[in-house]
Amino acid sequence: MTVLAPAPEAPALDEGQRPARRARRLPVLGGPSVWAAATVVALVLLAALLPDLLAPQDPLEISLSESFDAPSAQHVFGTDQSGRDVYSRVVHGAGQSLVIGLGATAIGLVGALVLGLVGGLAGRFADAAVTRTIEVLYAFPGILLAMILIAVYGNSALTQMVAVGVATMPGYARMVRGQVLGVRGSLYVEAARALGHPPSRILVRTLLPNAFRPLTVLITLGVGQAIVWAAALGFLGMGVQPPTAEWGAMLNAGRTYIQQAWWMDFFPGITIVIFTLSLTVLGRHLQRTEDSGVAR
């Protein structure tokens, strides 16, 4: 007589296994630090789009009788050497700084896509030329290259965007070239060629999306880097010129009075630090999300 052994009971889920479905969502939603970073970025975007909503006072209004007023209920960030409200200038400066950061990142990405696609698709000679170009650009520190361009072409927001964009281009170009070289010999590209798809369709439908995918994470980090570099140029007097409200220009104006009115440098500086750190947190979160395969 055969005795059937009782079927083993299913192991009970321990505490670490129960919220598995919810844990899979966490990489997308993020933790408190990601939400805090997203809130900071949203506030800066709001300040850039609707500065009068957050700071109705004119950032260019001069009141010499209120020069160097310390932070108070009337002027929460104090006033500068001309009696202008520092809080209002920080809020209105968000738009100028963000335009420079986004513009510089866009210029760097466009140039990188051109160099990377030419290097990855146009043959050995073109690839060697692109590689040498990237190496020459890498030979100069980015901020030094930007300073050289501004010294040659003059101070303006457009020159600043182009200078910072060119300085950030080599890193993007190297990544695009590597992605194109990796995708060019893949099975789905070979299949598209076998099906008779024209090169233009393969470029637009296959190569460009795959070359651009890793850059989506770097864009977030690149905007923060561009804003920091633009602020550094402004601090050195090579950026947007006064009285325009721009974070780097405000740092340059405040350094002369750092012992007399510390708030002129502190509040623009801490705004740059918090905003760029928030962009970095969001960028790292996007990178972890993509690496985990949650975002597709």
Burial of 261 (0-12, 13-18, 19+ CB in 10 A): buried
Q: Are 190 and 206 in contact (CB under 8 A)?
A: no
**Yes or no: domain 34-47+85-295 corresponds to CATH 1.10.3720.10:** yes
Residue 105: CB atoms within 10 Å: 26
Each domain of the chain, given as residue ranges in start order, spans 34-47+85-295
- Model confidence at 274: pLDDT above 80: yes
Is pLDDT at 66 greater than 50 in this prediction?
yes
Q: What is the mean pLDDT of the chain?
A: 82
CA-based diameter of the chain, in Å? 106
Weakest-pLDDT range from 10-14, 75-79, 132-136:
10-14
Q: Grade residue 15 by pLDDT with cuts at 50, 70 and 90.
A: very low
Q: Find out whether 98 and 227 touch, Cβ atoms under 8 Å.
A: yes
Q: How many CB atoms lie within 10 A of CB 99?
A: 15
pLDDT in tens, 153-186: 888 888 889 999 988 888 888 887 877 777 777 7
Comparing 6-20, 136-150, 187-201, 216-230, the range with the smallest average pLDDT is 6-20
Judging by beta carbons within 10 Å of its beta carbon (0-12, 13-18, 19+), is residue 66 exposed, middle or buried? Answer: middle
Q: Which value, in Å, is the radius of gyration of the alpha carbons in the chain?
A: 26
Residue 278 has pLDDT above 90, yes or no: yes
Average pLDDT of the residues in 195-205: 74
Half-sphere exposure of 66 (CA within 13 A, CB side): 16
Q: Read off the pLDDT of each residue in 78-101 and give the average, rounded to a whole number.
A: 94
Terminal C-alpha separation, the chain: 57
- pTM assigned to the model: 0.80
Task: Give the pLDDT mean for 73-98.
Answer: 95
Name the percent of the chain in helix, strand, coil, to the closest 5.
70, 0, 30
